[in-house]
Amino acid sequence: MSAIYPHLLAPLELGFTTLRNRVMMGSMHTGLEEHPDGFRRMARFFGDRAAGQAGLIVTGGISPNESGSLGLGGATLEDGATGHALITDAVHQAHGKILMQILHGGRYSRISEPVAPSPISSRINPTTTRALSPNEILKTIEDFATCAQRARGCRL
């Protein structure tokens, strides 16, 4: 290993788990989420990266609810819990670690009626969001917690 990065391939103790190294594969959209055979293909994709010694893999953004989806047909864990378990199992079979990014699209959502805490548009989506009510914000917080619980059910 290079003297510039002497600890890159050393294990990293996080308290609740140990990563085999400090190489992290960040979250990305593979384009397979809505594909008919997508979960099996993503399982192979992420499993191959774990076999290639990635210390930690972060899955693409999973919305806590439909209103937070980045686009029509966007992934929510409720829709694909069984499929996500395939991905997790493939990573674990290669002795890898994986976590799920839970992401509410907010003003970046490309759905017909995007919602966010404030009615502000973004440069990439000219549609102005509808501001969530206080009750909707509380429901969204609950949805994040529910999504995290479902992720644990997928062995994430």
Look at residue 75 in the predicted model and tell me its pLDDT. 61
pTM: 0.84
Percent of the chain with pLDDT over 70: 93
**Using alpha carbons only, how large is the chain's radius of gyration in Å?**
17
pLDDT at position 82: 80
Indicate the burial class of 56 (C-beta count within 10 angstroms; 0-12, 13-18, 19 or more): buried
pLDDT of residue 84: 87
- Tens digits of residue pLDDT in 60-96: 888 899 888 887 555 666 666 788 899 999 999 999 9
Predicted local distance difference test score (pLDDT) of residue 106: 94
Residue type, 69: S
What confidence tens digit (pLDDT) does each residue in 128-148 have?
899 999 999 999 999 999 999
CATH architecture under which domain 18-153 falls:
Alpha-Beta Barrel (3.20)
- Across residues 97-116, what is the average pLDDT? 91
The three-state secondary structure class of 29 is coil
* Domain ranges, ordered by start, for the chain: 18-153
**Is 10's pLDDT higher than 80?**
yes
Quick one: pLDDT at residue 62?
86
Pick the more confident residue, 153 or 116.
116
- With a cut of 80, say whether residue 13 has pLDDT above it: yes
Helix ranges (DSSP H) in 1-156? 38-51, 77-93, 134-153
